[in-house]
């Protein structure tokens, strides 16, 4: 059973949880507890009705949501209560053998309570932003620290994220912490895809295209891409929303840029448009300025055979090899971004070669099938044969072997 803090769409961790659960459900019984009501095939969904929307750094589907470090003590309790009540209802109904928590934050408190009362083991995956939130507000550290101590396993989506959580919660957890990045549902990305729709809509059939997709927040460093646009020999498209969007649009206006286009948040309804942009782009740029995990948008671009220009931050080097499938740029350096982007735009042969390499690397290392197999080995190593329906769950065994019991035949 998966516990997730946010909707299953609109964020990297939402995509991670959704696609991992989808792949695991091919072999196991799976349930998700989260604040979303959009069902997934073969997955039991338990919607959490939050008293208000709250995120770590914002969420494109939750306009003007609160941030965790801004909450009062009462508001923290209200959020915890909503997650806990739904999770317990799900435990009693679904009877999981193991719980997988996304983010080292308030949901780990829920899993810790369930472990204490029902005896069900849990693992935690850190996506990075949970650590950033805790760094801004130490109130979340104390109970999370206890949950980390009890967790059967901890995973991080990048080496930097692992290093950060070990620094925050202690070296004692090093041995039980693994690195498992996100992946790509490679069947969604054929080797070739027509791009007629976006070519016509944006009038870009004969133009060079540079693309960014993601949350428009300060850590993403998008303002350096906007500043670089005055030197870039092509059209720059920026998909996404966030607290920096107005600032970025004002910056583009101040610089009198005619080649920068803001597409806004492209949700589930714009899936076709977003997918085509990954294929249509000549270069994808991710100018992050903080040690974030490996962004799934980078993998999606690579799956579409599009080379990337990125900073050497966080988990990005897990997938990007300089000169092989992309180019590295210095953080906060607009001129370097422009120079590297133009180098690729002006060399069609090199760009195509890098695109082929990008696709190959995703196929070999970052498919959800590969990622799910790694997690299933962990799930089977720590099953909890406990009956959650019993008031003495930690003392009584059961034959309800759900998550680790079923096999696809």
Q: What is the DSSP string of 241-302?
A: -STTHHHHHHHHHHTT-SSEEEEE---GGGHHHHHHHHHH-SEEEE---S-----HHHHHHH
pTM for the model stands at: 0.78
pLDDT tens, 291-349? Answer: 766 778 899 999 999 999 999 877 788 899 999 999 999 999 999 999 999 999 999 99
Checking if the pLDDT of 51 tops 90, the result is yes
Average pLDDT rounded to a whole number, residues 235-255: 95
pLDDT tens, 163-209? Answer: 999 999 999 999 999 999 888 888 889 989 999 999 999 999 999 99
Which strands make up the sheet holding 283-286, listed edge to edge? Answer: 260-264, 235-239, 209-213, 283-286, 308-311, 326-329
Q: Give the pLDDT band (50/70/90) at residue 391.
A: very low
Average pLDDT rounded to a whole number, residues 347-376: 95
* Phi/psi at 305 (5° precision): 65, 35
Checking if the pLDDT of 66 tops 60, the result is yes
Q: Are 375 and 100 in contact (CB under 8 A)?
A: yes
pLDDT at position 125: 97
Q: Provide the mean pLDDT of the chain.
A: 91
Checking if the pLDDT of 407 tops 50, the result is no
- How many angstroms separate the CA atoms of 19 and 5, rounded? 15
pLDDT tens, 11-33? Answer: 889 989 999 999 999 999 999 99
Average pLDDT rounded to a whole number, residues 55-65: 90
Checking if the pLDDT of 396 tops 60, the result is no
In the chain, what are the domains?
A: 2-183+367-381 (3.40.50.2000), 187-365 (3.40.50.2000)
pLDDT at position 386: 65
pLDDT at position 400: 38
Q: Give the pLDDT band (50/70/90) at residue 387.
A: low
């Amino acid at each position: 059973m998966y516990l997730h803090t946010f909707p299953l769409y609109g964020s990297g961790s939402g995509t991670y949880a959704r696609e991992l659960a989808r792949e695991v459900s091919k072999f196991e019984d799976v349930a998700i507890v989260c604040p979303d009501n959009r069902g997934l095939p073969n997955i039991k969904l338990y919607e959490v009705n939050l008293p208000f929307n709250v995120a770590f750094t914002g969420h494109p589907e939750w306009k003007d949501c609160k941030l965790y470090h801004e909450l009062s003590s009462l508001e923290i309790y209200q959020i915890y209560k909503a997650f806990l009540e739904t999770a317990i209802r799900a435990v009693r109904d679904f009877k999981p053998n193991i719980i997988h928590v996304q983010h080292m934050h308030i949901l780990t408190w829920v899993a810790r309570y369930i472990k204490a009362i029902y005896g069900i083991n849990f693992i935690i995956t850190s996506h990075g932003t949970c650590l950033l939130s805790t760094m801004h507000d130490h109130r979340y550290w104390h109970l999370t620290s206890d949950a980390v101590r009890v967790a059967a396993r901890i995973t991080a989506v990048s080496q930097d994220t692992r290093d950060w959580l070990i620094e925050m919660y202690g070296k004692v957890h090093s041995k039980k912490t693994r690195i498992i990045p996100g992946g790509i549902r490679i069947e969604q990305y054929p080797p070739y895809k027509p791009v007629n729709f976006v070519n016509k809509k944006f009038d870009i059939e004969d133009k060079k295209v540079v693309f960014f997709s993601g949350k428009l927040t300060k850590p993403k460093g998008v303002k350096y891409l906007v500043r670089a646009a005055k030197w870039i020999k092509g059209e720059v498209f920026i998909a996404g929303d966030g607290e920096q969007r107005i600032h970025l649009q004002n910056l583009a206006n101040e610089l009198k840029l005619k080649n920068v286009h803001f597409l806004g948040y492209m949700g589930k309804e714009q899936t076709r448009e977003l997918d085509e942009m990954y294929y249509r782009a000549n270069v994808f740029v991710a100018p992050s300025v903080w040690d974030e995990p490996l962004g799934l948008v980078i993998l999606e671009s690579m799956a579409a055979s599009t080379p990337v220009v990125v900073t050497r931050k966080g988990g990005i080097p897990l997938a990007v090899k300089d000169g092989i499938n992309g180019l590295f740029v210095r953080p906060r350096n607009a001129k370097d971004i422009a120079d590297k982007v133009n180098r690729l735009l002006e060399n069609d042969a090199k760009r195509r070669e890098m695109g082929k390499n990008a696709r190959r690397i995703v196929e070999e290392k970052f498919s959800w099938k590969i990622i799910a197999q790694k997690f299933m080995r962990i799930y089977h190593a720590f099953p909890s044969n406990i009956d959650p329906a019993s008031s003495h769950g930690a003392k009584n065994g059961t034959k309800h072997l759900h998550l680790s019991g079923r096999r696809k035949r």
